[in-house]
A and B are shown apart, each in its own frame.
Chain A
Amino acid sequence: MQGKKMASEETLLSLLKKARKGDDDAFRKLVEETRERIFGAIAAMTQREAIAEEILQEGYLALWDKSVSGDVEKPLRWLHRFCVNKSIDYLRRNEPILLENFDEEVERLPSNFTCPEIAVSDSERREALISVLQKLPHRERITLLMSDYLGMDSFEIASTLGTSPSTVRNQISSGRKKMLNLLKEKKID
């Protein structure tokens, strides 16, 4: 089962502007267009679905409230950053030992290392992928989800996490390699 295609930033911005003027339907549509993928990423990062729901709701309310988020040009990008930061805050508060320093060096991989597309087509593959992601160290899981699930580029991830793009690229490569090995062990390609 493929997730539905997410609306463009322009469409989301138009919905956000209407929502801020009191259009409840626009707010609902904005949430419906974006919630699934962001929720998946936060739930995988925090490994707590209830916490992911709370963070996502907080994100939508902050996005809608101009006094909190200000003039947002790219609502989806803003939501990604907000929710990822909240997830990291949650992990730092609750599992500080497991959340290593993001600047820590990881195994360097060749720059041409590529990762095959992983399709979550059924519940069996979904469960396998979630369990594999949960086995990754926090920093690699977070950067991998930001990159390969939310589609953020390394500069954007680096800016959100307060680290360098090269560190992010290394963490993504290392995370991908570990993920693929774990998937192979589960005989999932």
Chain B
Amino acid sequence: MIKGTLYVKTDKEWNSFMDRLEAKKKKRITQKKIRFVITALALAVAAIMALNLKTSKPNYLFASIPLKNSQAIMVEEGSVVEISENAFVLNTGVSK
């Protein structure tokens, strides 16, 4: 058996070793946090996309109103819709 220490380092040298080790450890912790955030974000995006795919888009009924005697229509909010065609197509907001 070889008793004793083969390579002797001074306290200063060991302190430098420990400082570098601590710096590497902190860097690894930061890398882990970044990896965790990226993974969480990727999962969240994937979940949102999956939910969007599952939600069926509403299929609204449209009403076509023939226009014969007027050039403009007053809507509830008070704005005027100029008519260039002879029909006004209205989204009823009611799903099929």
Name A's B-contacting residues (CB within 8 A).
1-3, 24, 27-28, 31, 35-37, 39-41, 43-44, 49, 52-53, 56-57, 60-61, 64-65, 115, 117-121, 123, 126, 129-130, 133, 148-149, 151
Q: Is the CB of A37 within 8 A of B5?
A: yes
List which B2-35 residues lie within 8 A (CB) of chain A: 2-9, 14, 17-18, 20-22, 24-25, 28
Number of interface residues of B (CB under 8 A): 18
Q: Is the CB of B3 within 8 A of A118?
A: yes
Q: Is the CB of B4 within 8 A of A57?
A: no
Given contacts A49-B7, A56-B17, A149-B6, 17 further A-B contacts (CB under 8 A): A24-B22, A35-B14, A36-B5, A40-B6, A40-B7, A43-B7, A44-B7, A52-B7, A64-B25, A117-B1, A118-B1, A118-B3, A120-B2, A121-B4, A129-B2, A133-B6, A149-B2
Given contacts A61-B28, A65-B28, contact A126 B21 (CB under 8 A): no
A129 interface neighbour in B1, B6, B8, Cβ under 8 Å: B6
**Interface of A, helix, strand, loop or mixed by DSSP:** helix
Name B's A-contacting residues (CB within 8 A).
1-9, 14, 17-18, 20-22, 24-25, 28
Given contacts A28-B18, A31-B18, contact A39 B9 (CB under 8 A): yes
